[in-house]
Amino acid sequence: MSFVRIKKIKGNEYAYTVENRWKGKGSRQKVIGYLGRVHRVAEAKELNFFEFFEVDDKEAYLKKVQKEELTSNIVRLELVKHGFTGEKVLQHNGLTVDLGALQVRQGKRKAAIAMHDGFLADTTLRGLVGFKEIGSQAELSVKLAKAFVEAGIKVDEELFVAVYEKVTGK
């Protein structure tokens, strides 16, 4: 099971995906991947998903929207709540989140945006937007919830259920 670890180097925080492995002398951490320099952004405003995207008929919208678009819109709303501006490419204080390319950057370098209890980075963004059905229904709901939390995305129950139903085809 992997998780994000923060290392402080010369006063800057950097995020890495690590995995614990048991060796003869006990548990050792293995770095799986580099996420980028950590940037902390404060939540600036409270917004309602359906009002923000000017959705009049919730049921019709949730029925017709594709999973990737719905998930990208949930991510976009969370970023706007944290002061980002834009539609497919969102920017704030030198940070860029490209929802089409599924990249998080500061200039040309990888970045990890600390929000809530997680970090929005290339791998967590791809893992959330490209989430696939693997495992039992009970495992699937936990894995999907974990993908939202790891990416630092707060999602309300109604939208989570809608994404879950899109993933499972129910």
Question: Hey, how many other C-beta atoms are within 10 angstroms of the C-beta on 28?
Answer: 12
- On average, the pLDDT of the chain sits at 92
| Predicted pLDDT at 114 | 96
Q: Which residue has the higher pLDDT, 167 or 71?
A: 71
3-state secondary structure of 103: strand
3-state secondary structure of 147: helix
Angle at 55 between CA 160 and CA 90, to 5 degrees: 70
Domain boundaries, given as residue ranges, for the chain: 38-168
> CA 47: distance to chain centroid?
18
Average pLDDT (62-83) is 96
* pTM attached to this predicted model: 0.90
pLDDT tier, 126 (very low <50, low <70, confident <90, very high otherwise): very high
| Predicted pLDDT at 155 | 96
| Predicted pLDDT at 159 | 97
Distance CA(124)–CA(5), nearest Å, equals 13
Q: Does 1 score more than 70 pLDDT?
A: no
Average pLDDT (101-105) is 97
